[in-house]
Structure 1
Amino acid sequence: MQIDLLIEEAFVFNVFIKTFEKKNIAIAGEKFYFISEENLRYLQPKEILNAQGKYIIPGFIDIHMHIESSMIPPSIFSGVALSYGITTIVADCHEIANVFGQAGMEAFLQEETDLDIFYAIPSSVPSTTPKLETTGGLIGLKEVASLSKHPKVIALGEAMNFKGLTDEPDSLIRQILKEIQEIKPLMPLEGHIPRVSGEVLAKFMYAGLTADHTQQTPESILEKVTSGIFLELQKKSITPENIQIIVDHHLYEHVAIITDDIMADDLLEGHLDANVRLAIEYGMPVEEAIYITTYTPAHRMGFQDRGAVASGFLADFMLVDNLEQLTIERVYKKGRCVHQKEGEIAYPSTKPSFPTYFYDSIQCKSLVETDLQIQVEGNHDSVICNVIQIQEVGTFTEHVQREVPVKNGLLDWENSGLSLIIVMDRYGKNGNIGYGLVEHTLKEKGAIATTWAHDHHNLMVLGTSAEDMMIAQHKILDLKGGYVVSKNGLLSASCPLPIGGILSDETVYELGRQLKKVRQAMINLGYKNTNEIMSFSTLSLPVSPKLKITDFGMMDVHTHAHVPLIEANK
């Protein structure tokens, strides 16, 4: 037998015993043929690579991520991900499904990529119900059954409807879970289980959910793992105290490192590899960090042909210089070199082939001044308002109440020290505008607008000035979606996302440059968070604690109860 590639003298990571061994690797076609200490030149390799002093580790596997968070389509994302050593992903594309329904998911499935992209069926489109948020598409039982037949579909995406899961046996999400358990009993069922404990956690598990990727604490890690939940650690869960708990209790078999969401500007600095480095920095042994980014995610998703450097497995791997820094020299996908550190191989990105209507999907009225005038009944100098309070770390919010002045019968929000937030129906279905107030956001006169509003992706505007809010909203309409920042009556940054209002077909470098300007413009307005853009874009996510807003108004995440803007008159 003649092999295609022989790699000699490498330190090869053996996931089964979690050690590096000096080996030679024979690759035939797309698979590893033989890994041995022996001299393998008798196999007459077509190519020989001397890897003395280098490390070889399996390609990384990201089993919970949303391609749309990078704001580029699969055809462009593929090359970027491969350059970071990621060779397989499982994507939950509920963002594009919220905009276009099953057609959005099918458009992604049709994209041709060298990166292996498997999909999870979006189980929460919308994340709650159509009575609580307006979306462009719906994924119901019929769509779930249809999508489950596709060979690239291997999991059920994160189930998020809190009330539907815990208190409503006949809810759509419960019906979806029952349906998929009957037609695909071995399919992994992903959960979105934030700040859940005790009997309520048991209710999620009783419904069939077996994994959680939300923000964790040492206490939640221990409770969830010992209860049988597989944990997927995104960046905000990779903290020194969380890593210490995993290390102390040897929980490696029950966790995997994932990304969930990474914005386009952050993508310029790394992807799953960056989270692995962070885990190592916070005290996880290198071997274990690699193990939970290769073998445990493969095991979780039922992959039998990847996640290890072993005979018969796909030859997905990377050649690494510095182990702790994960300095990637080369990346191989199915035995073919697809990335080199010095750029000898320029990995191409291709334009997506989406329907033309994907590029013209914003059906929303232009904001006018009267839309931002909030009437207050009665003769009052001030009223008590319910307010969304953001945090400096993460995307969770708190529910607080603040006294807001009233002037000439109108809520004087511009002089309240708070920001007004509105969410407008962008699908042309009902003309809804939801109103709320937010604390700890903008400190200067200005506004931020976007159509990248988790997960319904309506048009959302936050501001301390009516003038700036209108400027930002009008520019968003001109761009057919994206992000816009206005300050003191002037546009300061914009990032067009014309594909469904959530994606661009620019290169990741150009898109990242635009988004960096948006992020800096937000910071200049006083927005303070570990991820300013994600913090803003999730103010509209009604399944992430505690108080959020949709085009129907503010709502309590756990009870789904409507929370009025004006609570009581003083």
Structure 2
Amino acid sequence: MKVDLLVQNGWVYRTYRQCFEKADIAVVGEKFYDVSPASCYEADLVVDAKEKYIIPGLIDIHMHMESSMIGPAEFSRAVLPWGVTTVVADPHEIANVFGIAGINRFMEEKTDLDIYYAIPSSVPAAGPDYETSGGVMGEEEVLKLLEDGRVICLGEVMNHRDLISPEDTKIKRMIDLCQTASRDIKIEGHCPSLTGRDLAAFIRAGVDADHTQQTPESVLEKTDLGMFLELQEKSLTHDVVAAVVSHELYENVALVTDDVMPDHLVTGHLNRILRLAVEQGMPAEKAVYCATLTPARRMGLHDRGMIAPGKQADFVILEDLVHFNPLAVYKSGVLYEATSNEEKTKYPDEFYQSVKCRLALESDFKLNRCKVKDGEAVVSVMQVQESGTRIRHVKRRIAVKDHCLCWQEAGLCLAVVYERYGKNGNVSYGLVENGLKQPGAAATTWSHDSHNLLVLGNSPKDMLLAQNRVVHMQGGYVTAREGAVTAFVSLPVGGILSDEGLYKLSESLGEVRREIEDMGYKNSNVIMSISTLTLLVSPELKLSDKGLFDTKDRQGIPLVDKYECEKGKG
């Protein structure tokens, strides 16, 4: 018997025993043909693995390409060299901008990477009563997308209040359509703060997976209630990994990326999450299992996830089990050779004309409608944390002078959201603590999930400059200081994507990141932290174009709780 490819002298991953053994791998066409200790096959091509480690291609079942600010073709070129051969993409960012037309455009792109899709379940994330989006997803769109075999799950269900409500709601109808489909459609969840009876009700409603930030306690509670856990970077703390390891929960866990920024993507993807899991105490053989077979099994991708006869011949040759940097990546039995994108990716003309909000005026940043002329105001403030996207809701007392809130004198930043789709012209305001410490501003249309135009700053002239530049660019990220633009990333495709190559994009975003950090903003990921000030499904207090909201109870929160006049003044 002559095979197409024979890989010899490698330490091959034995999936069910989660160990490595010396073996040879035979490939015919796109499938593994045989795996044996010493093969006797002739082959058209023989590769000496030189006693390196060979693992199945990595499978990322929860991620958003839009977080890398590139489309499918460029994303494929970016992640395959890192050993990622299959992903399940939830395109809810492009859906928030363009609806199903954006998803269809993604699915048209040809890629070497195998891309399966989730149906965005929450567009807009919190619902039209709470934010304005460009697109809307409902039952009609679900039925249409289910016709495509690449669609294998319903993306992260975020609106738990509608899900566990006794009323008939859109999300319940969407889940019902998926559960009664002619094939197995998984239901993915987003429940960072649910516990107890609410969590049980969420799971009873059909959602049996969660990818949000975990604690040791949530790992055990959710596992005991039957949830599958998808651990991203911010969940891979020593304590969380210890909970998984000590209770041997590997069958119930997959490693995922969720969001990877462009300037981080050039240094790794799911292989970096593998490395982090091992650094935090997960045995390497178990981490490989949780990045290959368990995600494949969760999504019903039974033709991949292990090196075995009949499975798809996706595999990675590694130097070691510490860094997880590939020496070679084989996709469907063929060595993948990275290529650069020399030309812009072309999108429909209307994708380049999606930012339709007005240019800001400097008067937009003067809060001069206070009910008292002079005195104090008790205000709700979004307090930025140094890690993650959680924003605490705190109260602060600040001065009022001549009917104006003195937010700058109080050491706060002002956040302003402009509705950008030309639907209603909404402008809303919030105050931010632990934002920029030095005078300046940042503005962006890459603001989750509805991607309206967000401006954050403590210098009105810089806020004006940054907002105007973003509008003129038709989307992106801009920083400004001392009356000048200091860095920018152009994202002209829907205000969220670049049509150029990753490396140029990465350099530009790196400059924006450094500018924000130099202005004193402290967070483990300053880009994501600013961009999720508008994420209404993340705790605790967030800002949309329709105002401030308590994200747990979905209650509108006034910027000013109460006023107190100076003595003798009204």
Structure-1 separation of matches of 2:40 and 2:194:
54
Local SS of the residue matching 1:413 = coil
Structure-2 separation of matches of 1:423 and 1:218:
36
After superposition, residues 331-350 of structure 1 pair within 5 angstroms as 331-339=329-337, 346=339
2:6 is matched with 6
Structure 1 378/348 Cα, relative in aligned 2: closer, same or farther at 3 Å?
A: closer
1:24–1:40 Cα contact (<8 Å) kept: no
2:523 is matched with 529
2:18 is matched with 18
2:568 is matched with none
Task: Name the TM-score, length of structure 1 as normaliser.
Answer: 0.97
After superposition, residues 80-95 of structure 1 pair within 5 angstroms as 80-95=78-93
Residue 365 (structure 1) aligned with residue 363 (structure 2) = no
After superposition, residues 349-360 of structure 1 pair within 5 angstroms as 351-360=344-353
Residue 456 (structure 1) aligned with residue 454 (structure 2) = no
Residue 506 (structure 1) aligned with residue 504 (structure 2) = no
Structure-2 separation of matches of 1:160 and 1:111:
28
Structure 1 residue corresponding to 2:115, chosen from 114, 117, 138? 117
Q: 2:361 is matched by which residue type in structure 1?
A: V
2:271–2:325 Cα contact (<8 Å) kept: no
1:472 is matched with 466
Using the TM superposition, give the Cα deviation of residue 39 of structure 1 relative to its aligned residue in structure 2, in angstroms.
2.9
Moved more, 424-433 or 485-494: 485-494
Structure 2 residue corresponding to 1:444, chosen from 438, 442, 447? 438
Structure 1 558/413 Cα, relative in aligned 2: closer, same or farther at 3 Å?
A: same
Local SS of the residue matching 2:3 = coil
1:558 is matched with 552
Structure 1 12/426 Cα, relative in aligned 2: closer, same or farther at 3 Å?
A: same
2:11–2:21 Cα contact (<8 Å) kept: yes
Number of aligned pairs? 563
Structure-2 separation of matches of 1:75 and 1:106:
14
Structure-2 separation of matches of 1:397 and 1:77:
30
Q: What per-residue deviation string (whole Å, max 9, x for no partner) do you get for residues 396-447 of structure 1?
A: 1111111121121111222221111011100000000111101111111111
Structure-1 separation of matches of 2:362 and 2:50:
68
1:384–1:569 Cα contact (<8 Å) kept: yes
Using the TM superposition, give the Cα deviation of residue 456 of structure 1 relative to its aligned residue in structure 2, in angstroms.
0.1
Structure 2 residue corresponding to 1:55, chosen from 53, 56, 76? 53
Structure-1 separation of matches of 2:410 and 2:21:
64
After superposition, residues 60-99 of structure 1 pair within 5 angstroms as 60-99=58-97
Structure 2 residue corresponding to 1:278, chosen from 276, 294, 310? 276
Structure 1 residue corresponding to 2:397, chosen from 395, 398, 403? 403
Q: 2:352 is matched by which residue type in structure 1?
A: Y
Moved more, 497-506 or 369-378: 369-378
Structure-1 separation of matches of 2:256 and 2:166:
30
Structure-2 separation of matches of 1:132 and 1:49:
57
Structure 1 562/76 Cα, relative in aligned 2: closer, same or farther at 3 Å?
A: same
Structure-2 separation of matches of 1:301 and 1:394:
27
- The list of structure 1 runs, each at least 4 consecutive aligned residues, that deviate by more than 6 angstroms after superposition, is none
Using the TM superposition, give the Cα deviation of residue 167 of structure 1 relative to its aligned residue in structure 2, in angstroms.
3.0
Using the TM superposition, give the Cα deviation of residue 378 of structure 1 relative to its aligned residue in structure 2, in angstroms.
2.5
Structure 1 168/397 Cα, relative in aligned 2: closer, same or farther at 3 Å?
A: farther
After superposition, residues 406-425 of structure 1 pair within 5 angstroms as 406-425=400-419
Local SS of the residue matching 1:501 = coil
Structure-1 separation of matches of 2:438 and 2:229:
40
Using the TM superposition, give the Cα deviation of residue 54 of structure 1 relative to its aligned residue in structure 2, in angstroms.
0.9
2:229 is matched with 231
Using the TM superposition, give the Cα deviation of residue 88 of structure 1 relative to its aligned residue in structure 2, in angstroms.
0.1
Instruction: Give the % identical residues.
Output: 47
1:179 is matched with 177
Moved more, 160-169 or 430-439: 160-169
1:380–1:569 Cα contact (<8 Å) kept: no
2:540 is matched with 546
Structure-1 separation of matches of 2:288 and 2:341:
27
Structure-2 separation of matches of 1:221 and 1:88:
26
1:342 is matched with none
Q: 1:370 is matched by which residue type in structure 2?
A: S
Residue 484 (structure 1) aligned with residue 478 (structure 2) = yes
After superposition, residues 143-158 of structure 1 pair within 5 angstroms as 143-158=141-156
Local SS of the residue matching 1:52 = coil
2:61–2:256 Cα contact (<8 Å) kept: yes
Q: 2:218 is matched by which residue type in structure 1?
A: S
Structure-2 separation of matches of 1:454 and 1:18:
38
1:430 is matched with 424
1:332–1:338 Cα contact (<8 Å) kept: yes
1:30 is matched with 30
Structure-2 separation of matches of 1:349 and 1:541:
35
Local SS of the residue matching 2:355 = coil
Structure-2 separation of matches of 1:169 and 1:393:
37
Q: 1:34 is matched by which residue type in structure 2?
A: D
Using the TM superposition, give the Cα deviation of residue 348 of structure 1 relative to its aligned residue in structure 2, in angstroms.
5.3
Using the TM superposition, give the Cα deviation of residue 547 of structure 1 relative to its aligned residue in structure 2, in angstroms.
0.6
Q: 1:90 is matched by which residue type in structure 2?
A: V
Q: 1:7 is matched by which residue type in structure 2?
A: V
Q: What per-residue deviation string (whole Å, max 9, x for no partner) do you get for residues 362-392 of structure 1?
A: 0010001222222101233221111111110
Structure-2 separation of matches of 1:492 and 1:308:
48
Residue 385 (structure 1) aligned with residue 382 (structure 2) = no
Using the TM superposition, give the Cα deviation of residue 489 of structure 1 relative to its aligned residue in structure 2, in angstroms.
1.7
Structure-1 separation of matches of 2:528 and 2:325:
28
Structure-2 separation of matches of 1:514 and 1:103:
28
Q: 2:211 is matched by which residue type in structure 1?
A: H
Q: What per-residue deviation string (whole Å, max 9, x for no partner) do you get for residues 196-249 of structure 1?
A: 110010111111101000000000001001110000000000111111111100
Structure-1 separation of matches of 2:534 and 2:317:
42
Q: 1:32 is matched by which residue type in structure 2?
A: F
Using the TM superposition, give the Cα deviation of residue 505 of structure 1 relative to its aligned residue in structure 2, in angstroms.
1.5
Cα RMSD for the two superposed structures: 1.2
Using the TM superposition, give the Cα deviation of residue 38 of structure 1 relative to its aligned residue in structure 2, in angstroms.
2.8
Local SS of the residue matching 2:234 = helix
Structure-1 separation of matches of 2:465 and 2:306:
53
Structure 1 420/188 Cα, relative in aligned 2: closer, same or farther at 3 Å?
A: same
Using the TM superposition, give the Cα deviation of residue 9 of structure 1 relative to its aligned residue in structure 2, in angstroms.
1.1
